[in-house]
Amino acid sequence: MKFATIVLCAGLVGTLVVSNLQGATIVPGEGLAATLILDETTTGSIKPRLDPSLQAARLIDLQTGSTCRLPNLDAGEHFEPTTVGAACADDPALNRVSQWRASGDGTLEMADADGATVYRFAPGDGVLYESVYPENALVTIVPVKG
């Protein structure tokens, strides 16, 4: 019985010590605003910094296996003509791409000759860009050196 009492007391003391080490307590009536200081600085979108040695990029459709080169990733804020490599001529969606632009939010938009969006890309994780529109597309853009 003494052993159980000692273990129970030791556990209670340990719990109190750990709970006091976890941080400042919030005084009732002061709320979180009294304990947290938030940085309210607003920043613009961050465009990915491309390697200056990047001469071209490779567009890869992971569903069809189509892969082709893009001349470069220097798209402006207004639609500009672009060419998609001949290797993507068999891919119906990629074959429609004739212009592109970079948006202020860091996305890249590819459109057909009428200006209708074919693909929209966002900066990717492990790739330069990955498709976000249409939602069923699995297209990535990766760097090609040389």
- Quick one: pLDDT at residue 51? 47
- Quick one: pLDDT at residue 55? 59
Q: Give the max Cα distance, the chain.
A: 85
Q: What's the average pLDDT block by block, 10 residues per block, for the chain (146 residues)?
A: 74 63 52 53 53 66 85 76 80 85 86 91 88 91 77
- Quick one: pLDDT at residue 32? 45
- Quick one: pLDDT at residue 127? 87
pTM of the model: 0.59
- Quick one: pLDDT at residue 50? 47
Extended strands (E) in the chain: 54-61, 67-70, 80-81, 99-102, 108-111, 117-123, 129-133, 139-145
- Quick one: pLDDT at residue 53? 45
CATH 3.40.50 fits 54-145, yes or no: no
Domain ranges of the chain: 2-34, 54-145
Q: Which of these, 138, 140, 141, 134, lies nearest to 118 by C-alpha position?
A: 134
